[in-house]
Amino acid sequence: GAVVSQHPSRVICKSGTSVKIECRSLDFQATTMFWYRQFPKQSLMLMATSNEGSKATYEQGVEKDKFLINHASLTLSTLTVTSAHPEDSSFYICSAGGGGVVTQYFGPGTRLTVL
Amino acid sequence: AQSVTQLDSHVSVSEGTPVLLRCNYSSSYSPSLFWYVQHPNKGLQLLLKYTSAATLVKGINGFEAEFKKSETSFHLTKPSAHMSDAAEYFCVVSDPNQAGTALIFGKGTTLSVSS
């Protein structure tokens, strides 16, 4: 299957700082990328849908000014958590798909800890 | 709107015995259905998918699932559990008519396998 990478895999930051997470599709062009958030022992919740070259579509309750998403190319999407707070600590997972392909491929996730 | 319900939050089996993880879906059209597995501290891995072809779908690691439209179910089974099967399993639905559509995750079922 296709490979999707995320960087970094783990990040610890101080409250008030911003953190950028990268999601890359390594061997295919992803017209659409999705960002999910997973709290401990819970399911994945969709945060936003990112289409290459256009603004992301955010799910209800997700602050677009806090979670900035950029999808500048067909192989890269970034999620920036701005002014992070401890309640933003979570496991962030991206997936990539599109181009008529139903299957999405998931990145390994990024564990964010805000102190 | 689409949704999935995983009927059991936790399933415990003995090694060598059958596994049954139950999933019911709700959709106004014929959906695409998936089962993903997540091992501790690892990314999501696709086990199998149903996309309107054969109703009995075989996946990796000996897992299979049967799409039953009359029962709106997509239960995951394996004839003989292995210790390495212990993980979190997610039943997932998406709209096959929209390429690059976000996935809707069930709440997950934790599978425990004892020796």
B65-82 residue pLDDT tens:
999 999 999 999 999 999
What is the SS3 string spanning B1-53?
CCEEEECCCEEEEECCCCEEECEEEECCCCCEEEEEEECCCCCEEEEEEECCC
Given a cut of 70, is residue A59 above it in pLDDT? yes
> Cα-flanking dihedrals φ and ψ of residue B104, to 5°?
-110, 120
**Structure confidence at residue A98 (pLDDT):** 62
The distance of A43 to chain B (nearest Cα, Å) reads 5
Residue where the block lists tokens 């259905």: B33
Contacting residues of B for A1, CB less than 8 Å apart: 46
A34/B94 CB distance under 8 A: no
Q: Which residue from A minimizes the CA distance to B94? A: A102
Given a cut of 90, is residue A100 above it in pLDDT? no
The distance of A7 to chain B (nearest Cα, Å) reads 13
**Structure confidence at residue B100 (pLDDT):** 56
Q: At A29, which helix (H) or strand (E)?
A: none
Residue A2 to residue A27: CA distance in whole angstroms: 6
Residue B55 DSSP code: S
**Structure confidence at residue A16 (pLDDT):** 96
**Structure confidence at residue A28 (pLDDT):** 80
The distance of B80 to chain A (nearest Cα, Å) reads 26
**Least reliable range by pLDDT among B13-17, B28-32, B88-92, B98-102:** B98-102
Contacting residues of B for A106, CB less than 8 Å apart: 36, 43-45
Q: What percent of chain A has pLDDT over 90?
A: 54
Residue B26 to residue A85: CA distance in whole angstroms: 36
Question: How would residue A9 be classed by pLDDT, with cut points 50, 70 and 90?
Answer: very high
Given a cut of 70, is residue A113 above it in pLDDT? yes
Considering chain B, what is the average pLDDT of its residues?
A: 89
Chain A interface includes B30 (CB < 8 A): no
